[in-house]
Structures are given as structure tokens and as C-alpha cells.
Structure 1
């Protein structure tokens, strides 16, 4: 079960990273933090080549790098806008919807259709999303769903998981045409490159705040690099679907941090909703073995 320890470590590290994300994004902005996170993650990951060979790069690698740079720039900017706009304990569980969207997009992209167990997993995730805003049920049975979609951060995070449902396929192409470590470094560096001109155009007033927040930005990049190392180690020991399912428990950690650190309210419903949504992810994962 060593793979489980590395996978759960990935979830924990990402959740701690998001604490610093939440605290820092208000002091700089989403453009600065997207650029610095991706650049520092790539730099902190470079020493991994001391223990691994630099792979040859196939032709499709560069197409994948460009595609992942564009799409993940969008995803990161939406992600930071989401955690800036709404409670961490509301927006973080929505990341568990990415397996659900993969089941929806896979039939169109790769011709894979969900089986009965996968459909059950989708149903469970929808129930969990309902429970997240269960306190609004007094305004009508559909009010929790309506409330979730009215939340600015939630709407932005739905955009994030939509992009992730596309980038998951690009990640596969990138790894197949290089190596997991090379792809992790190149992918983050590509996002930093695509974000840089946007940063110069949109964030000139906030660039001066980088120095005063450099400690937090370095911690964010370092934690993200550690999470990637932990995830890559887990992927070498277990099925990708198992590792990603455990990784999604970061949503539950984030709900707890939202309560303990940011004093967010309605925590019981959010914990219950997160647990149900994670259960749905596990069911979808198991559906791939049926």
C-alpha cells in the first residue's frame, strides 16, 4: 500500500498549497500567482533529472506542450479567481467533478462510454453536489443546485473542471511522447511562458507586490513540486485511476482548512457533500475495472 501513502500525500500537499493560494491571491492577483507557481514548480522539479534520464521527445510532444500551455493557463486563472471569489470549502469539492466530465467527454474524444457502475458514480457525485448547499433546501428542492450555480466561485470552478476534462487527454499524449517528469516540467514551464505576457499587460500594479509576498509564492511552488513528485511516485506503483481517485480527497482536506483556518460556515453540509462526491469518484474509478 505504499502507493496509497504517496497518493494521499499528494492530496494533503495540494490542500496545504491551496491554503497559501487562498491567502496570497488577495495580496497579489491570479496572474502573478499563476506565473510564479508554474515557473517555480518547473524550477524545483529540475533536480529530478539527476535521478532520471532525459528522454527523447517525439514529434507530438511540442504540439501537446503548446496545447497544455494555453488550456492550463485558462484553468489556473479560473482556479485562482474561484478561490478568491468564494469559500475554499465550497469551490474545492467541485474539483471532484472532473471524473464525471471525463465520462461525458470520453465518448466524443476517445469513443469510451460509461457502464452502469460509472453512471452510478455520476449519480452519487450529483447527490454530493446537492448536499454541499443543502442548507438552501428551504427555498425549494432545486434551490441547492441553483445556489451552487449562482456562486461566482462555483461557476468559475465548473470552468476549471471542464478544461481539465480536455487536458487529461493532452497529458496522456505528453507523457507518451516524453516521460512523466519531463512532461510535468515542460507543462508547467509552458503555462509560465503563456502567462507572462498576460501578467505584464494585466498586473503591472501588482508586480511590485511580488517581493513582499515572495515567501508565500516560493512555498506554493515548492509544495506543488513535492505534490508532483509524490504523485509520479504513486503512479509508478498503482493504476492511474486509483491514484487520481485518492488525490481527489484533497477536496475534503480543503473543506477542513476552510473551517479551521478561514472560519467558513455551514461546514457540516460541506464535509458531508465532499465525502459523498469523493465516494462517487471512487465508484467511477472501480467502474473502469468492471
Structure 2
């Protein structure tokens, strides 16, 4: 039984590593075709919610504790902002650059631990941060650039948006884990979709009252890409929930960083992005730094 659980969890991690960058590909393709990031995220939530109700109608009447709703509401709001910022970043920047930046999530977790938990990192933590900085320099540096690492890199709008998305997703993962522990991965997935859809609808009602019809027509015209996106997002989130339920958050987040390598490869395959060998090396260094921080710091 234990071996089966470990195998199932490992399979979920593998699915998540591949599906997440693939979802980013579809999101970038849609925004290149004038789809608004907020509307893309909202429509994805809505489609997945309807799909869940069709296949798991019992989810509607599930008896859940009060703390579940608190955890899921916080998770949904944070995930909404994180996903919208991520898609906006993908619209502006290269997938092969923005994917590896996710390794900074482990740095955010470490800094949060310093200020909220008084957890001072040791040498392993500092080594991990150094690896991530070096790796990000390799990923972000221009071939013609000969100077050392520059913090001006983080003034680029797509990098700012990606880092903002990273912070939101790093925090919402903690609350999502708590929601899963008092329910199940599938229950948490359904309400992640439903509450996210409600939150984004409110946002659309406040900011996109006149644009929602053209945006809906755009999604219908790109229905194959949109359906691919919904499938990839659904697999990503559900497999993430299964992984979080079956293993410590730190280990799961460390393994999730491997998707950075697929982001670089997909950037080359789907968008003809350049300098892929250099970016693969940098992404590998950043992944190593994230693993060091998560597992040893």
C-alpha cells in the first residue's frame, strides 16, 4: 500500500512538472492573439468548474469544516492574482526566461521564515541563494553583455510581474495544503476552480464590462488552444494537490522546480526563443539552488 502511494505521488509530481510549462505555452499563445490575461484565467476557472460538476456532482453537497472555507478563500484570492500576473508576464516576456525565475520561490519562502518564524538560514541556504542568483544571471544575461550581475534585470516589467506571481503562489501553496488536509485533493481542486471563477468574475465586472464579449469571441475562435489550456491547468493543479497531500510541501516545491527545464525547451519549440543552451544551463543552476534551499537549508 505504501509503495503504491509513493508511486502515485511520484506520478503526480511528474505530470505536474510537464503540464505546468505546457499550460504556460497555451497562455502565451492566447495572449499573443489579443486575449486578455484576466479573461483567460477566469474562463479557465469557469470551464474547469463546469467540468468538475459534470464528472463529480457529489462535490456540490460535501460536508466540509469551517476552516476549509477560510483556507480556500485565501488560496483562491492569492491564486487569482498570481495566475493573472503570470499570464501578463508571459505576454511580455520569453517563456524560456520566465519559467526558471520560479526558482526564486524558495528564496521567498526563506525570507518569510526569517521575518515570521525567526528561522535564520545556514550555509546551505546561502549557497542555494548564490546558485539561484548565478543561474538567473546566466538565464537573463544578453550574449553581448560582459558586465557582472546587475539588479537592473529585475526592473524589467515581465520580471516584476513574474516575481509578483511567484510571491502570491508561494503563499497560497501553504493555505492550499491546509485545505487539502481537512478535505481531499479533488475537493480542494473543485473549490479552487469555483472560488477562483467567482473572484475573477468580480474583477471582470469592475474592470472589463465592455470588453468581455469580444474576449469571449476570441476564446471561441481559439477554442482548441483554450481547451488545451484547460486540460493542462486542470492536470497541473490536480496533480499538485495530490503531490501536496502525499509529501511535505518543501519536497514537492523542490521537485516542481524541474519544470523550469521544460519551460526553456518549450520556449524554443513553440516560440523559437534564442540562446536555449545557455538558458538550460542557467535553469539547471537555479533548480539546483532551489533544491538546496528547500531540502537542506
* TM-score, normalization by structure 2: 0.85
**Distance in structure 1 (CA, Å) of the matches to 2:66 and 2:116:** 21
Displacement, 1:49?
A: 4.9
Q: 1:132 to 1:65 in 2, by over 3 A?
A: same
Structure 2 counterpart SS, 1:141:
coil
Structure 2 counterpart SS, 1:114:
coil
Query: Structure 1, residues 163-218: CA drift from partner, whole Å, max 9, x if none?
Result: 12321232233223333222222122211111113224323342322221232222
Select 1:186's aligned residue among 185, 191, 214: 191
**Distance in structure 2 (CA, Å) of the matches to 1:110 and 1:182:** 30
Q: 1:188 to 1:51 in 2, by over 3 A?
A: closer
**Distance in structure 1 (CA, Å) of the matches to 2:36 and 2:286:** 30
The alignment status of 1:21 with 2:30, answered yes or no, reads no
2:200 is matched with 195
Note the residue ranges of structure 2 that are not aligned, 5 or more in a row: 1-5
1:157 is matched with 162
1:175 is matched with 180
**Distance in structure 1 (CA, Å) of the matches to 2:284 and 2:109:** 20
The alignment status of 1:37 with 2:44, answered yes or no, reads yes
Displacement, 1:34?
A: 0.7
**Distance in structure 2 (CA, Å) of the matches to 1:222 and 1:119:** 38
The alignment status of 1:12 with 2:21, answered yes or no, reads no
* TM-score, normalization by structure 1: 0.87
**Distance in structure 2 (CA, Å) of the matches to 1:8 and 1:234:** 10
Count of residues in correspondence between the two structures: 286
More off after superposition, 65-74 vs 187-196 = 65-74
Kindly report which structure 2 residues correspond to 1:1-290, keeping only aligned pairs within 5 A, or say none: 2=7, 3-27=9-33, 28-45=35-52, 49=56, 56-135=63-142, 138=145, 140-143=147-150, 145-146=151-152, 148-200=153-205, 201-202=207-208, 203-204=211-212, 205-235=214-244, 237-287=246-296
**Distance in structure 2 (CA, Å) of the matches to 1:280 and 1:80:** 25
**Distance in structure 2 (CA, Å) of the matches to 1:19 and 1:131:** 22
Q: 1:229 to 1:164 in 2, by over 3 A?
A: closer
Displacement, 1:118?
A: 2.4
Conserved in 1, the CA contact under 8 Å of 2:74 and 2:175?
A: yes
Conserved in 1, the CA contact under 8 Å of 2:77 and 2:199?
A: yes
